[in-house]
Amino acid sequence: MSLVTRFAPSPTGYLHVGGARTALFSWLYAKKKGGKFILRIEDTDLERSTQASVDAILEGMSWLGLDYDEGPYYQTKRFDLYKEVVAQLVADGKAYKCFCTIEEVDAMREAQTAAGEKPRYNGMWRDRTDHPADTPFVIRFKNPQSGTVVIDDLIKGRIEIANSELDDLIIARSDGTPTYNLTVVVDDWKMGITHVIRGDDHVNNTPRQMNILAALGADIPKYAHVPMILGDDGKRLSKRHGAVGVMQYRDNGFLPEALLNYLVRLGWSHGDQEIFSKDELVQLFDLDSCNRAPSAFNTDKLIWLNQHYMKTLPAEQVAAQLQWHIAEQKLDIGNGPALTELVKAQAERVKTLKEMVEVSRYFYEDFSQFDADAAKKHLRPVALEPLQAVAAKLEALSDWSQATIHDAINATAETLGVGMGKIGMPLRVAVTGGGNSPALDLTLSLIGKARSLARLQLAIDFVQQRANDSE
Ligand SMILES: Nc1ncnc2c1ncn2[C@@H]1O[C@H](COP(=O)(O)OP(=O)(O)OP(=O)(O)O)[C@@H](O)[C@H]1O
């Protein structure tokens, strides 16, 4: 039988990094084993589920490249199936109607707490047949009363829970709607899930779900509970608890390759290797090497990986992600170098794609003012002659290439008998407006001849004005 995994988020917010890593582990495991990865949207909490959250989850998965072989399935579209299964369990004597009122259940709990016992449903309707007419009821699963449930968890190892610890769980509410554990069980069964890889916040649900699966005569999947990703405060990241959505990382300028590599390493290792391509991960990933302890987020490491991928991925791939930031910052790329050229020029110099666009405006937009500090330092009267001389040399170039520009700048320094610094910095401030840019020959070649010369003229006028003012 082929292996089937699933990711089953509830659409009550965006896809956050905790959920994304769990999705990634399920995806990787399926790919590695040549199996199937299913996306199932657990949207039965009608009050908290929204279409916007579904869209956000799909967007996050797509941005990370976590494609699914089946789905998305929506639990709200499967209510008939759940009802059938509940009815079958009742018919088989494996579940029963419970007519307890809320007050009765509360009283039961209070008495147990007062007696120092763990509060739990005491099974009072489990074997009764004197069912009242016209009285609301819930359906409870007849949990076995003896024996133990053993989870041979693929990450956590063996976990044993005594059935005496588990009470008879409600599987359908008084309005007939199925509860969480029932829907999960029915779907895992009907979708042929062989490996349930999920966060260890679900570990308490597992014995109950295994008991229901057994009652249905279903195959019990293997379980792998992955540890949680924690926030700065040591609490698990969750939508309700300040987690950052995956798409926020896109907005902040991270590459999906960097985030994926970061997330996988946060809970899994292969020797001391840090960098993994997706293909390599599919080859190497295994549940055996997953951490058992929770992990906390470390932004510096993510930045380091982002820089690595900006520099080493094909420029076209980085440029495709850069496009979004260009649009966001409303730059017209028709007005300057191709994005692949921009990536090659700036990748070494920035931490994120967002920063890459921020420091690259001068390639696409003219400016009317120079950065005040840079101008104060470098556009001084002594810069007038070098600027005029280099402008003349550049203007004379018929071929505007990095090499010819380089030679023109060197020749100017030689003719004037000055060091490169005397020309380089004023020229940089002149053509970029500020004091930081890639190598000058590259920068000028990307800015273009006409635009470089116009900016040089602007700087010459500025310096002249300054010289006049100080006279
Ligand atoms: N901080 C986390 N670290 C690792 N996995 C997580 C984390 N939070 C959730 N998961 C896992 O992600 C999957 C989807 O979870 P779900 O959509 O319920 O997210 P959630 O953040 O737990 O939601 P909620 O905020 O409603 O509790 C589950 O397998 C869950 O165990």
- List, in order of start, the domains of the chain with CATH numbers: 4-71+181-230 (3.40.50.620), 81-172 (3.90.800.10), 366-471 (1.10.10.350)
SS3 184: helix
Residue 40's H or E segment, with its range, is strand 36-41
Q: Looking at ligand 1, which atom is closest to the CA of residue 9?
A: 17
What confidence score (pLDDT) does residue 63 get? 97
* ipTM higher than threshold 0.90: yes
Ligand 1 centroid, distance to 379 Cα (angstroms): 56
Q: Any alpha helices (H) in 127-243, and if so which ranges?
A: 180-190, 205-216
Average pLDDT value over all residues in the chain:
95
Inter-CA distances, 104 with 109, 122, 174, 177, Å: 9, 11, 15, 21
| Residue identifier of the C-alpha nearest atom 21 of ligand 1 | 238
**What are the binding residues?**
239
Q: What is the pLDDT along the chain (471 residues), one digit of tens a residue?
A: 599 999 999 999 999 999 999 999 999 999 999 999 999 999 999 999 999 999 999 999 999 999 999 999 999 999 999 999 999 999 999 999 999 999 999 999 999 999 999 999 999 999 999 999 999 999 999 999 999 999 999 999 999 999 999 999 999 999 999 999 999 999 999 999 999 999 999 999 999 999 999 999 999 999 999 999 887 777 888 776 666 899 999 999 999 999 999 999 998 999 999 999 999 999 999 999 998 888 888 889 999 999 999 999 999 999 999 999 999 999 999 999 999 999 999 999 999 999 999 999 999 999 999 999 999 999 999 999 999 999 999 999 999 999 999 999 999 999 999 999 899 999 999 999 999 999 999 999 999 999 999 999 999 999 999 888 877
What confidence score (pLDDT) does residue 470 get? 77
Q: Structure tokens of 397?
A: 């170039």
| Residue identifier of the C-alpha nearest atom 2 of ligand 1 | 18
What residue ranges line ligand 1, CB within 6 angstroms?
9-10, 12, 16, 18-19, 21-22, 198-199, 201-202, 228-229, 236-240
Instruction: Tell me the residue type at 109.
Output: R
Q: Structure tokens of 25?
A: 């582990």
Q: Looking at ligand 1, which atom is closest to the CA of residue 19?
A: 12
Ligand 1 centroid, distance to 294 Cα (angstroms): 13
Beta strand 222-226 pairing with 195-199: parallel
Residue 31 CB contacts under 8 Å (≥ 6 apart), including other chains: 37, 282
Give CA–CA dist 390/457, Å, rounded. Answer: 11
Of 345, 343, 336, which Cα lies nearest the Cα of 402?
Answer: 345
Ligand 1 centroid, distance to 323 Cα (angstroms): 31
Beta strand 70-74 pairing with 36-41: parallel
Give CA–CA dist 303/127, Å, rounded. Answer: 61
Instruction: Tell me the residue type at 284.
Output: L
> Which of 201, 202, 244 is the pocket-test mutation for ligand 1 (most atoms within 8 Å of CB)?
201
Inter-CA distances, 379 with 156, 292, 376, 430, 462, Å: 65, 59, 6, 8, 8
Instruction: Tell me the residue type at 11.
Output: P
Ligand 1 centroid, distance to 232 Cα (angstroms): 17
Beta bridge partners of residue 141, listed in sequence order: 95
| Residue identifier of the C-alpha nearest atom 9 of ligand 1 | 19
What confidence score (pLDDT) does residue 154 get? 97
Q: Looking at ligand 1, which atom is closest to the CA of residue 57?
A: 17
Residue 239 annotated among the catalytic residues of the structure: yes
Q: Looking at ligand 1, which atom is closest to the CA of residue 227?
A: 4
> Which of 6, 22, 184 is the pocket-test mutation for ligand 1 (most atoms within 8 Å of CB)?
22
| Active-site pick, 239, 278, 354, 393 | 239
| Residue identifier of the C-alpha nearest atom 16 of ligand 1 | 9
**What are the binding residues for ATP?**
239
What is the sign of the dihedral through the CA atoms of 259, 265, 271 and 274? positive
Ligand 1 centroid, distance to 9 Cα (angstroms): 7
| Residue identifier of the C-alpha nearest atom 25 of ligand 1 | 239
What confidence score (pLDDT) does residue 297 get? 80
Q: Structure tokens of 153?
A: 């968890």
What confidence score (pLDDT) does residue 36 get? 98
Cα within 13 Å of Cα(178), Cβ side: 26
Q: Any alpha helices (H) in 167-298, and if so which ranges?
A: 180-190, 205-216, 246-251, 256-267, 278-284
Ligand 1 centroid, distance to 208 Cα (angstroms): 19
| Residue identifier of the C-alpha nearest atom 27 of ligand 1 | 238
Ligand 1 centroid, distance to 19 Cα (angstroms): 5
> Which of 196, 238, 241 is the pocket-test mutation for ligand 1 (most atoms within 8 Å of CB)?
238
| Residue identifier of the C-alpha nearest atom 17 of ligand 1 | 9
- Measured at the CA of 380, the angle between CA 378 and CA 385, to 5 degrees, comes to 100
Ligand 1 centroid, distance to 15 Cα (angstroms): 9
